[in-house]
């Protein structure tokens, strides 16, 4: 029999080319060093494609059996670290296809029928990102559970609430922590929403225009767990909006954790001394023996910058690209992977760190007694006795000035002294001038009264279960 196969070349597309690329260009264009982490997704996608080609009579059952056997072997080789990744084969897709063909011959060469690396890579990224989102959602829940536990322990613990970093009004530490529950709850909602748009199938779009082979995209979508197929082939191969949305959701999550980090750092500074962090999240100084530095929260704050950077990278990557696929798109992976890695590590470490917070209620209370934290309560007290709020505000401002001059806090004044500011003030004023009275009076949905905080925690727990 005469051999009808074309002469073998070293590169997939070499027949068209008269000179090899330089080593520098090879290294510059290759993505295999970083996209090999999508190998399992690439194999899953290829198997679904091959099964569809077989069901549609485009390749034979014999080919499918060989492709499946070859892919099983390749999976083993990858898992055992024996797979040889080759820069000459450029990326994860060509590396696996080349190995498959070496293992099973023509069946391997038939796999790429009706497909392009353009729809293949878009499918792989979506499969990879879907798994990353699921992992992140699980980790957010783990973080939230631990946050709820400590919030519950401190539903009554008074903390100075700050505005402009100055003592403003008393809140409870539990209420303060629950603010972060709300932030991360919105983060989880955003990831779940992004997931819906990630979970659409590009495969079947081929290079950009679809294929003349009688493919069944719905079958592939079902096999891979995609909710729907991307509706336009040009859009499907070139869209990276889903990756940008993921990075945007991640920037927001990191921004929230960065704010919490900033608070942990401030609270832990000897000036405030509201909390201590477990030693395993801190380091010492190589020169100053007295130091215990909050390295982990500082790094979370710092890593937020690189996640924001990735978001800007991807937005910039996409803004100048005409339809459809351009090689620029290969640059999507490193920022995307780095973002997912950073978010996953940060959440894992935070879930643990939050349980290692040692709260110092005495220091919180001491700070509260220095900041006239119940001044607004005094104003509200007089409003309830009929004084217009603006006038009450003025009376309290005078009382605070007098307190400042005499180095005391408002509850330290005698009734007689207080009555000098307003005849509306009676003995019952001390109920609102105390921190406990102030906290208990904010007893409405979203307020800091301990009963409200406990109710918020109960609602949060019900949502998580
Ligand atoms: N490694 C490429 C990427 O990550 C795969 C797609 C290549 N397609 C192409 N037409 N060169 O984007």
Residues marked as catalytic: 164, 285
**Per-residue pLDDT, 64:** 98
Alpha-carbon torsion (76, 81, 82, 85), positive or negative: positive
Q: What spacing in Å lies between the alpha carbon of 215 and ligand 1's midpoint?
A: 22
Interatomic CA distance for residues 239 and 170, integer angstroms: 49
- 161-184 in b/e form (b: 16+ CB < 10 A) is bbeeeebbbbbbbbbbbbebbebb
The answer, yes or no, to whether any atom of ligand 1 lies below 6 A from the CB of 199, is no
Low-confidence ranges of the chain (pLDDT < 70): 1-14
**Per-residue pLDDT, 185:** 98
Give, in words, the CATH class of 118-365: mainly alpha
Task: Name the pTM for this structure.
Answer: 0.94
Q: Ligand 1 atom 11: the closest Cα is on which residue?
A: 327
Interatomic CA distance for residues 233 and 16, integer angstroms: 26
Q: What spacing in Å lies between the alpha carbon of 159 and ligand 1's midpoint?
A: 54
**Per-residue pLDDT, 236:** 98
The answer to whether the bond into 324 is cis (omega within 30° of 0) is yes
Q: What spacing in Å lies between the alpha carbon of 44 and ligand 1's midpoint?
A: 18
The answer, yes or no, to whether any atom of ligand 1 lies below 6 A from the CB of 117, is yes
Q: What spacing in Å lies between the alpha carbon of 410 and ligand 1's midpoint?
A: 69
Taking the CA of residue 90 as reference, the ligand 1 atom at the shortest distance is 1
The answer, yes or no, to whether any atom of ligand 1 lies below 6 A from the CB of 422, is no
The answer, yes or no, to whether any atom of ligand 1 lies below 6 A from the CB of 327, is yes
The answer, yes or no, to whether any atom of ligand 1 lies below 6 A from the CB of 164, is no
Alpha-carbon separation of residue 302 from 5, 224, 297, 307, 340 (angstroms): 56, 37, 9, 9, 16
The answer, yes or no, to whether any atom of ligand 1 lies below 6 A from the CB of 91, is yes
Overall size of the chain counted in residues? 465
Alpha-carbon separation of residue 456 from 146, 174, 175, 184, 365 (angstroms): 15, 10, 9, 15, 23
**Per-residue pLDDT, 19:** 87
Q: At what angle do helices 39-55 and 61-79 cross, to 10 degrees?
A: 170
* Number of neighbours of residue 378 by Cβ within 10 angstroms: 26
Interatomic CA distance for residues 80 and 87, integer angstroms: 20
Alpha-carbon separation of residue 254 from 251, 275, 315, 464 (angstroms): 5, 22, 18, 21
Residue by residue, DSSP assigns 327-381 as GGGGGGHHHHHHHHHHHHHHHHHHHHHHHTEEE-HHHHHHHHTTTTTTHHHHHHH
Q: Which residue matches tokens 């099973």? A: 104
Ligand 1 pocket test: which of 25, 86, 327 has the largest number of ligand atoms within 8 Å of its C-beta?
A: 327
Q: What spacing in Å lies between the alpha carbon of 249 and ligand 1's midpoint?
A: 26
Interatomic CA distance for residues 301 and 255, integer angstroms: 8
The answer, yes or no, to whether any atom of ligand 1 lies below 6 A from the CB of 120, is no
Closest CA to 424 of 460, 392, 390, 377: 392
Q: What spacing in Å lies between the alpha carbon of 259 and ligand 1's midpoint?
A: 38
Q: Is the domain covering 22-113 a CATH 1.10.275.10 domain?
A: yes
The answer, yes or no, to whether any atom of ligand 1 lies below 6 A from the CB of 13, is no
> Do the domains spanning 118-365 and 370-464 agree at the CATH topology level?
no
**Per-residue pLDDT, 74:** 98
Residue by residue, DSSP assigns 7-29 as PP-SSTTGGG-SSPPPHHHHHHH
Interatomic CA distance for residues 131 and 344, integer angstroms: 12
The answer, yes or no, to whether any atom of ligand 1 lies below 6 A from the CB of 121, is yes
Fold of 370-464: Ribonucleotide Reductase Protein R1; domain 1 (1.10.40)
- Helical segments of 154-227, H only: 173-198, 217-224
Interatomic CA distance for residues 31 and 341, integer angstroms: 18
**Per-residue pLDDT, 400:** 94
Taking the CA of residue 92 as reference, the ligand 1 atom at the shortest distance is 1
Task: Name beta bridge partners: 283.
Answer: 293
Q: Ligand 1 atom 4: the closest Cα is on which residue?
A: 330
**Per-residue pLDDT, 9:** 47
CB 237 within 8 A of CB 122: yes
Q: Domain extents for the chain? A: 22-113, 118-365, 370-464
């Amino acid at each position: 029999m005469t051999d009808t196969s074309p002469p073998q070349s070293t590169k997939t597309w070499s027949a068209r080319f008269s000179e090899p690329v330089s080593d520098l260009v090879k290294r510059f264009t290759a993505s295999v060093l970083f996209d090999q982490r999508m190998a399992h997704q690439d194999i899953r996608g290829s198997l679904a494609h091959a099964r569809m080609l077989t069901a549609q009579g485009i390749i034979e059952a014999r080919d499918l059996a060989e492709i499946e056997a070859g892919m099983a072997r390749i999976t083993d080789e990858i898992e055992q670290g024996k797979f040889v990744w080759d820069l000459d084969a450029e990326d994860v897709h060509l590396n696996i296809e080349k190995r498959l063909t070496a293992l099973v011959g023509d069946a391997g060469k038939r796999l790429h029928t009706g497909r392009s690396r353009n729809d293949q890579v878009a499918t792989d990224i979506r499969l990879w990102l879907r798994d990353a989102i699921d992992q992140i959602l699980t980790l957010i829940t783990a973080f939230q559970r631990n946050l709820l536990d400590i919030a519950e322990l401190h539903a009554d613990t008074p903390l100075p609430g700050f505005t402009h970093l100055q003592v403003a009004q008393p809140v409870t530490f539990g209420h303060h922590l629950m603010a972060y529950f709300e932030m991360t709850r919105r983060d989880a909602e955003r990831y779940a929403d992004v997931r819906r748009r990630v979970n659409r199938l590009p495969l079947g779009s081929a290079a950009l225009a679809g294929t003349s082979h009688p493919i069944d995209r719905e079958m592939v979508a079902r096999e891979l767990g995609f909710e729907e197929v991307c509706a336009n082939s040009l859009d499907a191969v070139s869209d990276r909006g889903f990756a940008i949305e993921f990075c945007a959701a991640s920037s927001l999550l990191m921004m929230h954790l960065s704010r919490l980090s900033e608070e942990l750092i401030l609270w832990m500074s000897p000036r405030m001394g509201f909390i201590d962090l477990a030693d395993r999240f801190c380091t010492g100084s190589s020169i100053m023996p007295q130091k215990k530095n909050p390295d982990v929260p500082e790094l979370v704050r710092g890593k937020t910058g690189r996640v924001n950077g990735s978001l800007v990278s991807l937005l910039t990557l996409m803004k100048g690209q005409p339809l459809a696929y351009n090689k620029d798109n290969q640059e999507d992976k490193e920022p995307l992977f780095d973002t997912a890695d950073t978010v996953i590590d940060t959440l894992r470490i935070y879930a643990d760190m939050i349980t290692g917070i040692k709260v110092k209620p005495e220091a919180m209370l001491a700070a509260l007694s220095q900041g006239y934290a119940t001044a607004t309560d005094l104003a509200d007290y007089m409003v309830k006795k009929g004084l217009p709020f603006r006038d009450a505000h003025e009376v309290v401002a005078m009382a605070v000035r007098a307190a400042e001059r005499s180095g005391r806090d408002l509850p330290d004044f005698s009734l007689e002294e207080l009555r000098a500011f307003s005849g509306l003030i009676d003995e019952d004023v001390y109920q609102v001038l105390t921190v406990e009275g102030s906290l208990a009076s904010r007893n409405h949905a979203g307020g800091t009264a301990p009963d409200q905080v406990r109710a918020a925690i109960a609602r949060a727990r019900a949502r998580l279960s």
